[in-house]
Structure 1
Amino acid sequence: MTHPSLRTIGISAVVGGSVTTALLAGAAAAGADAFTRLPNGTASGDGIRIVRSEESARVSPSMAANGTSRTTWVSGQITLYAPHLKPSKAGPSAGAAGESELPGSNGTATNGAAATLSTGYIVGCQVNVKGLQGGLSGSLTPTAPSVSGTLSVPLAAGEVKFVPLGTKNIEKPGTYHLGYDDAQIDVQDCAGYAQARAFTTIETTGEVHQKVNLYGKPFSIG
């Protein structure tokens, strides 16, 4: 049984002038954007599966050329397969709570729904986020379940933050889709190497509680 798709998170950014495309691993021309396509991924639990596809990132240097700021536009498609969930209505939503308030939660807090789905990015300054997953501190907490506009992320050297893009209550079994296109994340105050990786978390309630995390491939944001 298929239910209506999740609300799409779309954050558009207009960039004047021509855009030069280059691999993040290569040496891009001064002032040019760097673009990379990221691999698909999947994670499974007991009767549930998350798939990420069509993920990409485009990184722009700071227009102020100050070396501490940069912008990345991220896109991706998330599909949740949950055909065996026991239906359960959600209570009042508190949104994504953030790692600083709920360490190890990946920003997800259940509220009685059959499952809660959240997605976003882990961003670090002068930190290799390849091995970093749950249990991080210093999170950025948006004021709404889904974000419209630019997310500004202040980062000091050695700091890592979870940046939630959206959260959704799943009340019935089915297949669900969530897409974000050019979601804009501004990294501020990072004078060194910055890196990010996607995360998606599904947490179920009921007699069989489980949490499944899907992490993307880390990529450079300059």
Structure 2
Amino acid sequence: MSKFSKLGLRRAAGAVAIASAAVVGLAGMGAGDAAAGKLANGYKKASGIDGESIQTWRTGEFALPAPSVANNGAGRSAVVSGVYQAKASKGVSGNLAVKLLVGCQVDITGLSGSIGAGIDITGGMNASGALSIPLSPGQVAVVDVTDKDLADNGQAAIQLSQFEISVQQCGGFASARTITKVIGAKGYSTDDGTVSGEGSLIQSTLYGQPFSLN
């Protein structure tokens, strides 16, 4: 089997990515597509060239819009719950991460800027708390929530329980969706800020159903 070492593919640790409303990430997040209440389950299987595989599940996801406590007309909020699981084939190890894709859909040409995110969660399998995102109109952000390495049996699970998402500085319609991302390989390691292992490096992303932020 071939060995690999990928620089720059660090395990998720609170990084924030941002782009303008022109990016494809906003597609499918319109008011007509967003939903509240019970959201659809999801499943994905990714395979490597040497027969390795990683399966990802999203189950029991539920989201409810909630009035922003700021009550200033420029804040949107919702709470989300769900279970996110990964299972790798024998000998494959890796990392399971849950992220959020959040957008404020008011198109302002030439918008520029940056954002930061504050996260307050409890570790382990269960994550509860709040995420506040200063997001200007016309912007979309991918924000890390939490992650967990696969256990020796190749499995991992993360459960969000009434996790609050709050978007500030957004005067228009806002929506969000979860992202379940898994990366793995035989001999997976993230030592010294690099990802290394043997055989195929598998990366798989499972997108959740969009939901509204009130």
TM-score by length of 1: 0.62
- In 2, Cα distance between equivalents of 1:124 and 1:185: 12
- In 2, Cα distance between equivalents of 1:62 and 1:220: 13
Secondary structure of the 2:201 match is: coil
**Distance of aligned partners of 1:199 and 1:43 in 2 relative to their CA distance in 1, 3 Å threshold:** same
Q: Which amino acid aligns with 1:197?
A: R
| Residue 139 of structure 1: how far off its partner (Å) | 6.6
Native 8 Å contact 1:139 1:161 kept in 2: no
- Match in the other structure for 2:149: 169
Q: Does 1:215 align with 2:207?
A: yes
Displacement over 4 Å in runs of 4+? 141-148
Deviations along 1:60-118, one digit per CA (max 9) or x if unpaired, are 122443211122110001121213234xxxxxxxxxxxxxxxxxxxxxxxxxxx31110
- Match in the other structure for 2:6: none
Aligned-residue RMSD, C-alpha: 2.7
Native 8 Å contact 2:79 2:165 kept in 1: yes
Q: Which has the higher contact order (CA 8 A, sep 6+)?
A: 2
Native 8 Å contact 1:141 1:163 kept in 2: no
Deviations along 1:14-48, one digit per CA (max 9) or x if unpaired, are xxxxxxxxxx97xxxxxxxx941100001111221
Q: Does 1:180 align with 2:160?
A: yes
- Match in the other structure for 1:119: 98
- In 2, Cα distance between equivalents of 1:76 and 1:144: 15
Native 8 Å contact 2:100 2:143 kept in 1: yes
Given candidates 38, 47, 59, the residue that maps to 2:65 is 59
- Match in the other structure for 2:89: 83
Native 8 Å contact 1:83 1:175 kept in 2: no
Q: Percent identity?
A: 34
| Residue 120 of structure 1: how far off its partner (Å) | 2.2
**Distance of aligned partners of 1:62 and 1:178 in 2 relative to their CA distance in 1, 3 Å threshold:** closer
Q: Which amino acid aligns with 2:160?
A: Y
Secondary structure of the 1:173 match is: coil
Q: Does 1:152 align with 2:132?
A: yes
TM-score by length of 2: 0.64
Deviations along 1:124-162, one digit per CA (max 9) or x if unpaired, are 11169xxxxxxxx85747598956632111100111112
| Residue 50 of structure 1: how far off its partner (Å) | 0.4
Q: Does 1:73 align with 2:79?
A: yes
Q: Is there any run of 5+ residues in structure 2 with no aligned partner, and where?
A: 1-30, 48-52, 108-113, 186-196
Q: Which amino acid aligns with 1:72?
A: A
Q: Which amino acid aligns with 1:157?
A: P
Q: Does 1:193 align with 2:173?
A: yes
**Distance of aligned partners of 1:152 and 1:196 in 2 relative to their CA distance in 1, 3 Å threshold:** same
Q: Which moved more, 1:189-198 or 1:64-73?
A: 64-73
- In 1, Cα distance between equivalents of 2:121 and 2:201: 25
